[in-house]
Amino acid sequence: MKYEELMQKAIEVSKNSYSPYSKFAVGACVLAESGEVYCGCNFENSSFGLSICAERNAIGSAIANGEKKIKAIAIYSPNQDNCFPCGACRQVIHEFCESDDTFDVIVKDGDEVKVYTLAFLLPESFSL
């Protein structure tokens, strides 16, 4: 699947965001090692700590469907260009990717799709 297609899916799912408190909608779409695609959006709760990021929602969907490794993630917000994953999501992504150097994080900057490695976004990551 082309990264532009992943981004389009992230754009579409961002419309389902439940973000009444922050007003910051986010959609994410992961490409699993199997070639399957899983999407998720952020959803908030009045107890803010219980809110879930779009990236972790999409990864959770992949895991719930039996996936163990993901290859790429597209992230989109209509509120901001270059919508990068938060630190918690970066660590969760690290848990389920084969290599930080080959895992691609795809963001939108205006009309352009940009690709970054997880190693660039999460230097010196850790594993058990």
Instruction: Say what the pTM is.
Output: 0.94
Indicate which residues carry an active-site annotation: 55
Considering the domain 3-121 in this protein, what is its CATH number?
3.40.140.10
For the chain, which residues make up each domain, given as ranges? 3-121
- AA identity, residue 106: I
Tell me the C-alpha distance between 40 and 29, whole Å. 6
β-pair partners for 40: 28
pLDDT in tens, 11-53: 999 999 999 999 999 999 999 999 999 999 999 999 999 999 9
CA neighbours closer than 13 Å in the CB half-sphere of residue 19: 19
